[in-house]
Amino acid sequence: MARRFAELTFTPSVKNAQTQYGSREQNQQFEDAPDSGHVLGDREISFIEARDGFYQATVNDDGWPYVQFRGGPPGFLKVLDDRTLGYADFRGNVQYLSVGNLAANDRVSLILMDYANRRRLKIWARARIVHHVEDHGMLARLEVPTYRAQVERGIILTVEAFDWNCPQHITPRFTEAEIDAALDPLRNRIAELEAASQ
């Protein structure tokens, strides 16, 4: 359990809601946890490095949240150290909502999903925008040479807190590659049976 997660998210209004709905005592355990929950361990690092996308939330100048999906090849969200993540920001629809929001408010929240195994990791971080002219070396670290997409900038995330979420309501979903891998034994067996019947 992560104490830092509770410090960031259990505001007075959240604690009031927990009291109103009868979960305040249960949620107190997060605040009393010995682990601060802001340093990524092996479990978090391997999970992050295997993802091919995540949901990112920012907030605009008027306080409206904006959630965007960021995708790429597995591992495009890179673990730079146990408190720092980074990714190449690929050119998209050129509305620049997320990057504009981050220029005014560096707070960001990520949700990383593993639908097939019903796992979800939430990360709270501070974001820093990096351009080629400012730190070409960092952009080179974030690029994915095998992925053909235009890199406009880099986003460096300093982890403030993270929390593993309950799998209870995650509906399993599978990628095309996961379905192909699951079907391989069946295809092989069909081929064996067809060969035997000839």
Reported as a single tens digit per residue, the pLDDT across 14-26 is: 999 999 999 999 9
Q: How many CA atoms lie within 13 A of 89 on its CB side?
A: 22
Residue range 89-148, pLDDT digits in tens: 998 888 999 999 999 999 999 999 999 999 999 999 999 999 988 998 999 999 998 998
Question: Rounded to the nearest 5 degrees, what angle is found at the Cα of 9, between the Cα atoms of 27 and 16?
Answer: 60
Task: Give the per-residue pLDDT at 53.
Answer: 96
Fold of 39-189: Pnp Oxidase; Chain A (2.30.110)
Break the chain into its structural domains and give their ranges: 1-37, 39-189
Residue range 6-52, pLDDT digits in tens: 898 999 999 999 999 999 999 998 888 877 778 999 999 999 999 99
Residue range 141-169, pLDDT digits in tens: 999 989 988 889 999 999 999 999 888 89
Q: What is the pTM of this model?
A: 0.89
Average pLDDT over residues 66-73: 95
Task: Give the per-residue pLDDT at 106.
Answer: 97
* 168-174, long-range: CB < 8 A, 24+ apart: 170/113, 170/115, 170/118, 170/119, 170/120, 171/115, 172/115, 172/116, 172/117, 172/118, 173/115, 173/116, 174/115, 174/116
Count Cβ atoms below 10 Å from residue 26 Cβ, excluding itself: 9
Round to whole Å and give the CA distance between 77 and 63. 26
Would you call 192 helix, strand, or coil by DSSP? helix
Res. 82: pLDDT tops 90: yes
